[in-house]
Amino acid sequence: MGSLTKEQITHLRSRHFVNVSWQDLEIEQDEILHTAILSTVQNKLVHRFPVEGLQGEAKADSDECRQAARAFARPVVHALFPTDTHAQNNWSLFAVNYYEQDTLNPPHLDKNNPDISTTVILSLTGVRILRVEDEATRLHPGTITLLDGGYNPLHSAYCVDGPSISVVADIPQLLY
C-alpha cells in the first residue's frame, strides 16, 4: 500500500490541497461499492443550500448510500495513514455530495475554526473545478483530493460536467 510522496506532501503544505489517484496510493477502487453509491445516491437527496442558483448541489441522505461510501473510503484512509490507528479508527464520513451541471458551491471554509484534520474528497463521476484560494484544479472520476484542515483553506466547487458525485471524509489527523 502506498502513501503520499514527499512532493505531494510539500504541495499539500504549500498550496493547502493536493490531488492524488488510487494508483498513487497503490490501491484499487471497489467497483461493487462504487456502483452501490451511484445506484443509491439519488434515493434521498437533501439540498444543502436552498437559495436561488444552488438547488443543484445536495448531499445523499440514505443509509444505504452512506454505508457504501464509508466502505468505499476506508481503504483510502488506511493507505494515507498506514501506521496511524487513531486516524484509521476515528475518521468520519462527512457526506456524499451530488452536483448537477452548472452548480456552484460558493467559496467557503469547512470549519469555523481551523482544526487538525485532513479532508479527503473521492470523485466518482462528473467533472468539477475546485478552486482552493487562488489555484484551480479539475476533479475527474478517480481523483482523490486532500484539503489541509490545519490551514482550513477557502475553497469552492463548480460542476462543469454533471452530475458529479463525490464521497467526502474527515480524518482527525494531519499528513505531516
pLDDT digits 0-9 by tens, 120-129: 999 999 999 9
pLDDT attached to residue 113: 58
Domain coordinates in residue numbering, the chain: 6-171
DSSP string computed for the chain: -----HHHHHHHHHHSEEEEETTTTT----HHHHHHHHHHTTSSEEES--STT-TTEEEE--HHHHHHHHHHHHHHHHHHSTT-HHHHHH-EEEEEEEE-TT-EEEEE-SSSS--S-EEEEEEEEEEEEEEETTEEEEE-TTEEEEEETTT---EEEEEEEEEEEEEEEEESS---
pLDDT attached to residue 54: 52
Q: Is domain 6-171 in CATH 3.40.50.720, yes or no? A: no
pLDDT attached to residue 59: 84
pLDDT attached to residue 107: 87
pLDDT attached to residue 37: 96
pTM value?
Answer: 0.91
Instruction: List average pLDDT for each run of 10 residues in the chain, which is 176 residues long.
Output: 82 92 94 95 73 64 94 95 91 92 85 75 97 96 92 91 94 78
